[in-house]
Structure 1
Amino acid sequence: MESEMRGIGEMARCSGLSVSALRFYDGAGVLVPSWVDPVNGYRWYAPGQLDEARLLARLRAAGMPLADIRLVLAGWSSADTELVRRLLRTHLRRLERDLSDARTELSTVRALLDHRENPMASAHTATVRFTVPAPALAAALDAVRFAASTDPELPMLGGVLLDVEGASLHAVATDRYRMAVAHARGAADGAPRAQVIVPSPVADAMRALLDGGGSVQLTVEGGQVALDTGAHQAAGQCLDHDFPDYRRLVRLPAGTRAVVDVRAFRAAVENGPFRTAEGAEPGGGAPDLSVLRVAGDGTVAVCAEEDDDQDGVVAVNRAFLLDALDALAMGAAGARDRLVLEFGAPNAPMAIRRTDTEDAFSILMPVRLDA
């Protein structure tokens, strides 16, 4: 029997649905396996169920409710094409109505934004000179540069935010799916606070001048930023946009902390099991996901795709996780053997921090497995 059927892993690969989604649809009675092994509970699907699974994947991608999908599948199997067509038309009208409503609400929000006073406006135009050790600024840029967005539709995220306030400089970058924050201490002269978004190419040019020691001066004035090392300079125009309030975004719920050996954990993520997400992220295509669980002894395990127990796991973009590990473990401050992972609820962001300081960390948005 098994030779003529597909196991749940093969069914997932062939249909475009994840293993967890197949389990969910089984429990919901939408796509029930043809046979379940009474010994180990493993699910087996008949050859004819592959077309139904692919249809289900497309309907879910179109946002159709499960109640309607159940009827579509019933009509599909009984060749009741009129029922199927009627359900598709109804769902399309619903989507068009929802889109119209969403456009109305977003237009209202845009109008509110146009009339809202920006309390940070003075910080965007302030003049400040910030003196900072070159290794400290280099380490801050190394810790965040990887997270800057390359999406042309979001130009305000296409660089590194430099937020100078008193003796502190925060460097921040985000592409919505991840955020990196780093801190450097120095001495400021001028306005009490200044914020500028340094375009990624300018940030890279500055970083190239920071391999030496000593102190450097960062000057923000008139919408421009300049770095002076004494021997060389790099300067450029800042992005004329507002950056999201990163201080609000980094307020994470309390969770479980686990210390990992960087080399061993990175190898487990890079070489261990992963699954492919059903949704797309920047750059197109579906990302590979690493599914992580904190064990009772405080170790972090990379879960296999066939793992039935999904309680207490967090799925994140595997490439983003590797980038964050590399950025925090290496850099101008030297290599680090250990990092701290912080897990909250399954739908809360996961944080990656250095063990020697709270001033540099990355946040990764989780990816739902039951989509």
Structure 2
Amino acid sequence: MRSIGEMAQDSGLSVSALRFYDRAGVLVPAWVDPVSGYRWYDPGQLDEARLLARLRRAAMPLADIRLVLAGWSGADTDLVRQLLQAHLRRLEGGLSDARSEFSTLRAHLDHRENPMTSLRTATARLSVSAPGLAAALDAVRFAASADPELPMLGGVLFDIEGEALRVVATDRYRMAVAHAGTTGHGGPRVQVIVPAPLVDAMRALLTAEESVQLTVDGDRVTLLAGDRQAGGQCLDHEFPDYRRLMQVPAGRRVLVDVPDFRAAVRTGPVRTSDARKQDGMSCELSVLGVTADGTVTVREDGDDDPHLVAVNRAFLLDALTAGARDKLLLELGAPTSPIAIRRPDDEATCSILMPVRLDG
């Protein structure tokens, strides 16, 4: 007999997916320990599990998967072929519809007046606290994207409005926002996307000066620190509306001791998921839950609590480090709601992490 862990490793299905398909009656284990509830599979079920994994990756509906598996085990090849062909036609039809809708959307974008254009062609000259800007960049830099397919996310947004400078970075799976106080800017709102290498060059200058000068002139941005400067051209793209992205559903707020919680995440159990890949590799997930006394814990793989929230472990560790506090607020909502990590003394500086579904 194969344990559920062995079955997951050999089939390409996660443990949580195997549990899901057991509850759905699609792939039922050969034996379940009546005391521990642990699932065991017959060796002959491995082929069905591998077939199920392929159908799952092809986004076949659960009802059709059930019929394919029934036809497969009964050697009804005609039924299986018909189901596969019907699903392929649906996928092709859906792709055709998506192309048509995207073509329409692109046409709307081409003809739409873009109010952000003025934000990216304005000028601004302001003084910024060097320690404040350094702390702000440290709080967001980890979330900048390295995906060449999304060049508009390959830097940090500098959003200048009134006496505030907000810096924002996102790679779709996570977003970080921080701010620094400024003086000297009395003009309209200005936004520029500073490329990641230039952000790093600016950060390197923020070591000794109390105040630095930030200048935006159209598509160029320059940071002057004493007799040193870093400057270059901004990215010619539009950044997503981060204010809208920050509107996450309210969840349960828990104050965590960062050193202890970081150690628990680093040494705690993980799940491996293909649901979300970074740099072409599957990510390790930390599964978080809140106990009755308000403690955030990293749960074991066998926990079937429906309120658990899974998150990319590396992203969570990065966000805890970027929080730069011994105490941070974790806001956990539904399993499908983003996780917010905030500073208790400065909630405007926060990280938002997208969860990963565990239900297969």
Looking at structure 2, the residues matched to 54 and 116 of structure 1 have their Cα atoms a distance apart, in angstroms, of 48
Aligned length: 360
8 A contact 1:226–1:236 mirrored in 2: yes
Kindly indicate whether residue 173 of structure 2 is the aligned counterpart of residue 156 of structure 1: no
Aligned counterpart, 1:10: 6
Kindly indicate whether residue 181 of structure 2 is the aligned counterpart of residue 199 of structure 1: no
Kindly indicate whether residue 318 of structure 2 is the aligned counterpart of residue 323 of structure 1: yes
Q: Counterparts in 2 of 1:115-130, with a 5 A limit?
A: 115-130=111-126
Secondary structure in structure 2 of the residue aligned to 1:29: coil
1:123-155 deviation line (CA, Å, top 9, x unaligned): 111100121110000001000011101111110
Looking at structure 2, the residues matched to 127 and 96 of structure 1 have their Cα atoms a distance apart, in angstroms, of 48
Aligned counterpart, 1:332: none
Offset at residue 231 of structure 1 (A):
2.1
Kindly indicate whether residue 128 of structure 2 is the aligned counterpart of residue 139 of structure 1: no
Kindly indicate whether residue 341 of structure 2 is the aligned counterpart of residue 345 of structure 1: no
For 1:368, the aligned partner's letter is R
Aligned counterpart, 2:180: 184
For 2:321, the aligned partner's letter is D
Aligned counterpart, 1:228: 224
For 1:65, the aligned partner's letter is P
1:189-245 deviation line (CA, Å, top 9, x unaligned): 352211000000000000000012410010000210000012210000000000000
Offset at residue 279 of structure 1 (A):
2.1
**Alignment partner of 2:40 out of 37, 41, 44:** 44
Q: Counterparts in 2 of 1:347-362, with a 5 A limit?
A: 347-362=336-351
Looking at structure 1, the residues matched to 88 and 249 of structure 2 have their Cα atoms a distance apart, in angstroms, of 38
1:93-114 deviation line (CA, Å, top 9, x unaligned): 1111110001111111111111
Offset at residue 7 of structure 1 (A):
2.0
Offset at residue 120 of structure 1 (A):
2.1
Kindly indicate whether residue 338 of structure 2 is the aligned counterpart of residue 369 of structure 1: no
User: If the length of structure 1 is used for normalisation, what is the TM-score?
Assistant: 0.95
Aligned counterpart, 1:238: 234
8 A contact 1:280–1:286 mirrored in 2: yes
Q: Counterparts in 2 of 1:258-297, with a 5 A limit?
A: 258-297=254-293
Query: What are structure 1's unaligned runs of at least 5 residues?
Result: 330-335
Looking at structure 2, the residues matched to 280 and 347 of structure 1 have their Cα atoms a distance apart, in angstroms, of 14
For 2:137, the aligned partner's letter is L
Looking at structure 1, the residues matched to 109 and 292 of structure 2 have their Cα atoms a distance apart, in angstroms, of 47
For 1:348, the aligned partner's letter is S
For 1:145, the aligned partner's letter is R
Query: What are structure 2's unaligned runs of at least 5 residues?
Result: none
Aligned counterpart, 1:333: none
Aligned counterpart, 1:58: 54
For 1:342, the aligned partner's letter is E
Runs ≥4 residues deviating over 6 A: none
8 A contact 1:9–1:306 mirrored in 2: no
Aligned counterpart, 1:96: 92
Offset at residue 9 of structure 1 (A):
2.3
1:263-299 deviation line (CA, Å, top 9, x unaligned): 1111111111000113242311211111000111111
For 2:307, the aligned partner's letter is G
Looking at structure 2, the residues matched to 69 and 189 of structure 1 have their Cα atoms a distance apart, in angstroms, of 61
Looking at structure 2, the residues matched to 54 and 68 of structure 1 have their Cα atoms a distance apart, in angstroms, of 16
Looking at structure 2, the residues matched to 271 and 38 of structure 1 have their Cα atoms a distance apart, in angstroms, of 30
Aligned counterpart, 1:82: 78
For 1:54, the aligned partner's letter is R
Identity %: 71
**Alignment partner of 1:257 out of 253, 259, 274:** 253
